[in-house]
Structure 1
């Protein structure tokens, strides 16, 4: 009888892990049972059960917004959690050990993908980051993830634009009865870890869950959609683009104010025109292909280029009048026009006619440039106010 009792105790010690077992012992014991099941099969004992996967995204840093390609590169902290019914143990049998760690390749994990992904390798997760597994089968996977996504860039109000990019996550293989993807809305999900940069300001990260039905499949798929709202820091562009472009507009007017006898009108006009073209090129190099909308600042600079070309044409015409022979008769209509512009009657010469034309065109160009500046400012201001209201 005593021998039988001793054998039972020995068998008990062999079958049951000893008190104070290490994390390795727990994992090996669980994986020995887990290995009989394919890692592609959902870890549920009842096939009709639905696995609930919770997703949390935190925006850590905006790496880059490639506006010509309309792509966003963002660094995120991701958290996924679910329950694995085959990774359950009694902590009392293992010396109170209630948490272990495992590699993602060792057990089943949800194949959550990013719909807007444009990464060539299509993989978003760092597969070397271990999973945290609790004794009740709860699995948590924290990953530091670099995402490259397509994002429609709206540049009409550049540099006062507000951009919104969506990150849509869903399971690529499991429909809603098999896997229910949802988001986490608690203090952990609402924390701010964003690292500010000098170009974009993080405004908001909104999230929602939707059920999407596809033609291919009987049941809908659950999606979690994060909407990232960013506002461009406009101070740099104000001092480097907007203010210089307005000053160049003033210089364009000064071309008409220089006396014809100075001999510098054409040179100043051409130099100023080249500066406008350079500004326009610098802006267009950083803008996406302008198919459905054109930035207000691009329209303004284009109008100033036209104004610059017109000022050069006017200058050539005025110089031609200024250097006409004095004995060439002046038409009466030109004399009346020049006298009206100069607001005094005097013996009219071609040089005075040229200066009268310069004065008249200066007034016309001043009014045109003022209207263009005012319209552009109002458009930017209105769009900026609408963007602020949309944010709030």
Structure 2
């Protein structure tokens, strides 16, 4: 039995090797095959070219420059009417492998390349021929295309990129391109994940084309730790400047340090984003508003220190007295609505008496710091909530 199996295998391989040169001579030497002419029997026929994408993963995505590099293979198939033979005459040999420069092959190019228009121009791949005229040509390498980034919701952004393939030597009525995609094992990228992929046929001017569409999503964990967390810390520190006792003399330096930190962080953050991004990331607006708020807080800190060093015998400004009278009137109206009256009047012991509780500069400074802290912290919380809602709605 072992000898029989060995004999059969020897017969198959020896006969395949024996008849391959004969098939090659029949196809290329004994005929007038021309690899320059498109392989259609009739001049008016349209050649159907099937391109199947074999993606492997993202090699590089530079959102600042708008460049995407994808490691992928192309399974290209067509029917060559001039490359057929009868397998029964050649030892049942049904296929033949030849170099790509021996047969007609389409000139596959990119419509949106970064540098080179041809696809894998420096690499040569063998072509597999079958007895019924089917030609299979598998190419592989890195495809680099331009991609318009969409960083509106950075660092929770997604980008849709396209790789448009066409044949510039043949127009649509001469060569029709059909496409598909075959699932493969994707190589993971450190910063980006492949969210979705699809392929479809289209037309690019007068050329038939196939489009490979890929949606990449940023892995936001690293950006959150290096971008969002520092912004949150700076925002909290920005409001806490009003909790520092003015006697320490550190308020102005603290507020100035936070303002400069926002400016430096804004510069670093802008360097990681494309200069011509449309639309501008929401986080840029949030960071700009926080930096403006930090500048306003620095001014309020200076005003608060001037109030702190006021002498008690100095006269209170008129607008402060008016605010106090308005607040006292509001308090009276509020109590009138909430508590029962005695003979239609408010009890004398509950009527705000400015002479019993005079407003001093120290008390005014305390109220000023409290109001500034509440407003600045409230604005910060509002900005964070607005950004979170906009990102969630996306």
TM-score normalised by structure 2 residue count: 0.81
User: Residue 87 and residue 266 in structure 1: after superposition, are their counterparts in 2 closer, same or farther (change >3 A)?
Assistant: same
2-structure distance, mates of 1:346, 1:70:
66
1:105-137: CA deviation from partner (whole Å, max 9, x where unpaired): 221101121211122464435532211221222
Q: Offset at 1:333? A: 3.5
How is 1:204-353 mapped onto 2 (pairs within 5 angstroms)?
204-212=196-204, 214=205, 220-290=206-276, 292-334=278-320, 337=323, 346=357, 348-353=359-364
Q: Quote the RMSD (CA, aligned, Å).
A: 2.6
User: Residue 102 and residue 126 in structure 1: after superposition, are their counterparts in 2 closer, same or farther (change >3 A)?
Assistant: farther
Which residue of 331, 343, 368 maps to 1:357? 368
Match in the other structure for 1:119: 115
User: Residue 268 and residue 138 in structure 1: after superposition, are their counterparts in 2 closer, same or farther (change >3 A)?
Assistant: same
After the TM superposition, which of the residue ranges 189-198 and 371-380 deviates more from structure 2? 189-198
The question of whether the paired residues in 1 share the 8 Å contact of 2:72 and 2:141 is answered with yes
SS in 2 for 1:182: strand
1-structure distance, mates of 2:362, 2:23:
101
1:129 aligns with 2:129: no
After the TM superposition, which of the residue ranges 286-295 and 23-32 deviates more from structure 2? 23-32
After the TM superposition, which of the residue ranges 78-87 and 20-29 deviates more from structure 2? 20-29
SS in 2 for 1:329: coil
After the TM superposition, which of the residue ranges 286-295 and 60-69 deviates more from structure 2? 286-295
2-structure distance, mates of 1:323, 1:116:
67
1:27 aligns with 2:24: yes
Structure 1: runs of 5+ lacking an equivalent:
1-17, 215-219, 384-392
1:193 aligns with 2:185: yes
User: Residue 22 and residue 126 in structure 1: after superposition, are their counterparts in 2 closer, same or farther (change >3 A)?
Assistant: farther
Which residue of 143, 147, 153 maps to 1:147? 143
The question of whether the paired residues in 2 share the 8 Å contact of 1:338 and 1:356 is answered with no
User: Residue 347 and residue 75 in structure 1: after superposition, are their counterparts in 2 closer, same or farther (change >3 A)?
Assistant: same
The question of whether the paired residues in 2 share the 8 Å contact of 1:20 and 1:94 is answered with no
Q: Offset at 1:332? A: 4.4
TM-score normalised by structure 1 residue count: 0.82
Instruction: Figure out how many residues of one structure are paired with residues of the other and give that number.
Output: 354
Q: Offset at 1:94? A: 3.0
The question of whether the paired residues in 2 share the 8 Å contact of 1:53 and 1:179 is answered with yes
Q: Offset at 1:90? A: 2.7
Which residue of 41, 51, 57 maps to 1:55? 51
User: Residue 87 and residue 328 in structure 1: after superposition, are their counterparts in 2 closer, same or farther (change >3 A)?
Assistant: same
1-structure distance, mates of 2:324, 2:307:
12
User: Residue 355 and residue 62 in structure 1: after superposition, are their counterparts in 2 closer, same or farther (change >3 A)?
Assistant: same
After the TM superposition, which of the residue ranges 302-311 and 21-30 deviates more from structure 2? 21-30
